[in-house]
Structure 1
Amino acid sequence: MPKQVDAQKVLQAARSGVPLSVKTYTLPHETEMYLEDILGIFLKEMGRDALKDPLAYCLRELAVNAKKANTKRVYFDEKSLDILNDLQYSEGMKAFKQDTLDNIQHYLEMQKAAGLYIKVVFHNTGPVLNLQVCNNSEITKREQIRVFDRIARSRAFDSLEEALTTVLDDSEGAGLGIVILILMLRKIGLDEDAFDIDVVSGETIASIRVPMSEVKAENLKAISQAIVKEIDALPRFPENIMNLQQLISDPDTEINEIARTVSIDPALTADLLKVVNSAAFMLPKKVDNIVEAVKLVGMRGLRTLLYSYGTQKILGNDKPETKALWRHSYRTAFYAYNLAKGITKKKDILDDVYVGGILHDMGKIIFSSVHPDLESKIAAYCRNKGIPSQLFEDLSSGANHSEIGAMIAQKWNFPDALVEAIKFHHDPHGCSPMYQDVVFTVYLANSLCGFQDGGTSFDQIDARILKEFGMESQEQFKRISERLTAAFDKEATGP
């Protein structure tokens, strides 16, 4: 029987910003239909049903090419030919197409026995739908050059019809199909930069980045701005926090004066001492002197701590759901700090990744804590503007919370590193290269939390970022996950 799509599971992935992956070894027709159904659910959720046919073609083309690439590997192995040797490659390709067509079931069984798979990943990051087709036979330089040659050839055509009436050599997989794929993307408003193919951690990854519907994007932006406007009446930060920020910015200020100002606020004092005495600082003894604590944290560390403290003062943590979000945020912060300190050894980003971890879900916290009547106000706004109310529901529960959080962070004049950590913690490759270290660390820390909570699998975590942190195998990842969990639970750094 054809596999049925679990629509609820797909919707959950589409709304939460967590990648959804499907793995197959032989790509039968029913699996192609299954993938199209998943694509349809993602696009319907994004309000872009009309994109299903062109994107389904692109997805099918890439999946079939991945299957052909796997078939080519087992075929060359069976013929004892070296795929990396130019002469042997040319020899093997002479009969490859006909031989495999005549006995495809045999080669598909060989692929499965060899563990060669095709994996399709759907990932809605809010502003972008990312589609990836991966296979674990690495594309050769020759094959990759051929793909990019086809992309270059596509520039010569003004339409799909013109390409279809032009005779092109299609003796290999990435022939006319890739040209049509690029022209299909162009037809829906994307250029060739939306497509890429590369090798990452032993996988060939063909990817397409699809921006959200312009109408949808405009609606989301309008709603986001309305939410920001709704909190205009809130103070940027409490007055004592503003005073401290000014003192820290003044190079003539002495540490004792800053310590005295901190000690005026018992809650801030307690928070500062809690951070200093956490496992993150690995001090030989407990510190209870505020002057010593300020010295240990440093001016930059204190400044970043104030961003998280001020945010919590404004947003609060009284509701059960808000408390749960803050607990998750503190766990993410602890993991991010320890990933930067213990694995990548990038001490210059420790403060930024710690506070970025605390604040990454600020958008969700805003929805759960700011203005009890916010939802009704935004619903009224949607009605007045003719925007479907479902968009607001998607916004409050889905990946777009990162956009909202970033807009608030900008409004409050947070440093760019924190704004980017908040905005791109579901879409790490969208960040500025300048803040990549911070964003990647917060992304991975958040993914570790998702993995431990059962909401994210190892396969759903970005392979390129895992490689950056030396976690190319699931065993390595699990070891680090268990070590961080044990350290966090021991120190009880959560609120």
Structure 2
Amino acid sequence: MQHEQKNQKVSLDNSKIKMAIRAGIPLSITTYTLPREMSEYMEQVLAAFLNELGQEHMGTYLKYCLNELVTNAKKANTKRIYFKEKNLDLFDDSDYEIGMKTFKDETLGNIRHYLAMQKLTGLYVKLILQTRNNRIKIEVRNNSVLTFREYKRMHDKLSRAQQYTSVDQAMTQVVDLSEGAGLGIIIMILMLEKIGLTEENFQILCENGETITRIILPINEKTQRKLNSASHEFIKIIDEIPQFPESIMRVNRLINDSNTKMSEIAMAISSDVSLTTDLLRLVNSVTFALASPCRSIADAVKLVGIRGIKNMILSVGSVNHLQGLGGDSQKTLFMHAYRVAFYSYNLAHNFCASERDIIDDSYICGLLHDMGKLVFATAHPGFIDNIRDICRQRNISQDIFEKLLAGVNHSEIGALIAEKWNFPDIIISVIRHHHEPDMAPPSSKKLSSLVYLADMLAHYQTNEVDYYQFDLDVLKLFGIGSENQLRKISDKLAAAFKED
């Protein structure tokens, strides 16, 4: 969802929009010439984005704002080409005055030439949409840095917008002052006021060679409260997710007892044939890359350690429970979980070699990162219908129910289930923050970032996300500075997983 395609209508990909919202990752559309089809496409993406968030009431106003911002960005790029061809210095006041006298007429009369030159020289207009931390961010970027004069004029327009109380008043007074060029920005601010915002929600800045115009919107807090409330109700409702079998609970109690000997733990595991089989299969998988096959639980405990064995038991128990709820196992979702677990463990070995706890916890955190989705994916239709009926009785709206069923708030639901199962705090925290590692507490931030990276790599390999959508802070944390470097890591992990 990045670039315009010549003479080809761009189709809307709702799946990418939904995924970006649920993962809090940015959506970006880049154009060099802003043809009519691209403008319409941007409007469609914005409308779908707002609709998915339940903020469609803002659509009409934000559509105007979007058109104003991208048109201004395109005009700024055209101005750079025009001044260069006229051998005028855009940053010189006298040259600026000379150039602006003829800019509008001459560029409109030969607009195809100027648009072609913008594309040739790589001058773009970029729309970025993102939702995180209960806020919506709408950005329009272009790689033409504002001059001081342009920056001042823009802020003068913003200040003037505060003088008007209606669009009619602004149009009358601005046109009378022969300053129609500033009308668009003034109307935009008035549009934002219609949805309860002020000029403080609108920002203009220049960073890294780009001019950025940004609108920050609060997501409807009422909707978010309903989602969180409904998520807690779901956990109360889901009585069909029982605690683990007594055999697993007994082993877990032994592991948590500091007086327990390793031989006692091994004996307790060995008394359950199914658990023994699953554990040995996991220990001997390519994931853990043992030098020689492990043939007994006693050896497994020695090789993997107490914490590692505990996490493996929780992993096996969780997957068996989720697959046994009565419905289809949703092979694709489980395969993604196994892939992210494998990637997380291998990334931990490479990037956190001296941090044993992160290595030990990485597999189970990767495996269960989407537990909230797995619960609904594995549930039989009767189970879902039962929850729907109870939601109706408890006044949880159909819209909220459908959002939760589709995966919205799945991180919170997964964390609540992990709490229900008395999982360690570190696992609960990573499940809760695997889409927003920057929000995780210090104790789980690095592991949350690791699982985030593993999850994004899995989606990157299926073309569900692009490089630009990766969190730059996470890439920096692990020393990844380019897409080429990321692709090499991705290829190595994919090849190794294929062998597993």
TM-score clears 0.5:
yes
| Bigger CA radius of gyration | 2
Of 318-327 and 193-202, more deviation after overlay is shown by 193-202
> Could you say which residue in structure 2 is the equivalent of 1:373?
382
| Aligned equivalent of 1:312, options 290, 312, 319 | 319
Is the Cα contact below 8 Å between 1:200 and 1:463 reproduced in 2? no
Is the Cα contact below 8 Å between 2:327 and 2:379 reproduced in 1? no
Is the Cα contact below 8 Å between 1:14 and 1:123 reproduced in 2? no
State the alpha-carbon separation in 2 of the partners of residues 478 and 363 from structure 1. 29
> Could you say which residue in structure 2 is the equivalent of 1:239?
246
> Could you say which residue in structure 2 is the equivalent of 1:449?
458
Offset, 1:5: 6.4
| Aligned equivalent of 1:288, options 284, 295, 299 | 295
Structure 1: gaps of 5 or more residues: none
1:287 and 1:99, CA in 2 relative to 1: closer, same or farther beyond 3 A?
Answer: farther
1:376 and 1:305, CA in 2 relative to 1: closer, same or farther beyond 3 A?
Answer: same
1:16 aligns with 2:19: yes
State the alpha-carbon separation in 2 of the partners of residues 148 and 429 from structure 1. 33
> Could you say which residue in structure 2 is the equivalent of 1:419?
428
In the TM superposition, 1:5-404 aligns within 5 A as 6-7=11-12, 9-10=13-14, 12-17=15-20, 20-64=27-71, 66-67=73-74, 70-71=77-78, 100-104=103-107, 105=111, 106-123=113-130, 129-135=136-142, 137=143, 188=195, 208=215, 210-232=217-239, 234-316=241-323, 319-343=327-351, 347=355, 348-370=357-379, 372-384=381-393, 389-404=398-413
Is the Cα contact below 8 Å between 1:244 and 1:261 reproduced in 2? yes
Offset, 1:164: 6.1
What's the C-alpha RMSD, in Å, of the aligned pairs?
4.6
Offset, 1:359: 0.6
Aligned amino acid, residue 356 of structure 1: C
SS at match of 1:15: helix
Is the Cα contact below 8 Å between 2:341 and 2:367 reproduced in 1? yes
Offset, 1:380: 2.2
Offset, 1:219: 3.9
Is the Cα contact below 8 Å between 1:17 and 1:125 reproduced in 2? no
Of 107-116 and 315-324, more deviation after overlay is shown by 315-324
Structure 2: gaps of 5 or more residues: 1-5
State the alpha-carbon separation in 1 of the partners of residues 279 and 56 from structure 2. 50
Offset, 1:362: 0.8
SS at match of 1:455: coil
1:247 and 1:473, CA in 2 relative to 1: closer, same or farther beyond 3 A?
Answer: same
1:383 and 1:6, CA in 2 relative to 1: closer, same or farther beyond 3 A?
Answer: farther
State the alpha-carbon separation in 2 of the partners of residues 406 and 471 from structure 1. 29
Is the Cα contact below 8 Å between 1:125 and 1:426 reproduced in 2? no
Aligned amino acid, residue 414 of structure 1: F
State the alpha-carbon separation in 1 of the partners of residues 95 and 297 from structure 2. 73
State the alpha-carbon separation in 1 of the partners of residues 157 and 303 from structure 2. 55
Aligned amino acid, residue 331 of structure 1: R
State the alpha-carbon separation in 1 of the partners of residues 196 and 335 from structure 2. 42
CA deviation string 1:165-187 (max 9, x = no partner): 999xxx9x9x9978886786576
Offset, 1:341: 2.8
CA deviation string 1:347-389 (max 9, x = no partner): 3523333222101111121002246523212322454466553
Offset, 1:33: 3.2
Is the Cα contact below 8 Å between 1:200 and 1:464 reproduced in 2? no
1:269 and 1:474, CA in 2 relative to 1: closer, same or farther beyond 3 A?
Answer: same
Aligned amino acid, residue 345 of structure 2: Y
In the TM superposition, 1:425-464 aligns within 5 A as 425-432=434-441, 435-464=444-473
1:272 and 1:98, CA in 2 relative to 1: closer, same or farther beyond 3 A?
Answer: farther
SS at match of 1:237: coil
State the alpha-carbon separation in 2 of the partners of residues 154 and 355 from structure 1. 57
Aligned amino acid, residue 421 of structure 2: W
Offset, 1:319: 5.0
State the alpha-carbon separation in 1 of the partners of residues 84 and 33 from structure 2. 18
1:113 and 1:378, CA in 2 relative to 1: closer, same or farther beyond 3 A?
Answer: same
State the alpha-carbon separation in 1 of the partners of residues 28 and 263 from structure 2. 55
1:464 and 1:31, CA in 2 relative to 1: closer, same or farther beyond 3 A?
Answer: farther
State the alpha-carbon separation in 2 of the partners of residues 254 and 91 from structure 1. 85
Offset, 1:39: 1.5
1:477 and 1:193, CA in 2 relative to 1: closer, same or farther beyond 3 A?
Answer: farther
State the alpha-carbon separation in 2 of the partners of residues 43 and 303 from structure 1. 43
Is the Cα contact below 8 Å between 2:134 and 2:221 reproduced in 1? no
1:204 and 1:245, CA in 2 relative to 1: closer, same or farther beyond 3 A?
Answer: farther
Is the Cα contact below 8 Å between 2:372 and 2:413 reproduced in 1? yes
Aligned length in residues? 481
Offset, 1:226: 3.1
SS at match of 2:330: helix
Offset, 1:22: 2.4
State the alpha-carbon separation in 1 of the partners of residues 138 and 396 from structure 2. 27
Aligned amino acid, residue 342 of structure 2: F
1:71 and 1:380, CA in 2 relative to 1: closer, same or farther beyond 3 A?
Answer: same
TM-score, reference length from structure 1: 0.77
State the alpha-carbon separation in 1 of the partners of residues 186 and 362 from structure 2. 42
Is the Cα contact below 8 Å between 1:61 and 1:178 reproduced in 2? yes
Offset, 1:89: 6.6
State the alpha-carbon separation in 2 of the partners of residues 201 and 294 from structure 1. 52
Of 476-485 and 395-404, more deviation after overlay is shown by 395-404
Aligned amino acid, residue 397 of structure 1: A
Aligned-residue identity in percent = 40
State the alpha-carbon separation in 2 of the partners of residues 126 and 239 from structure 1. 40
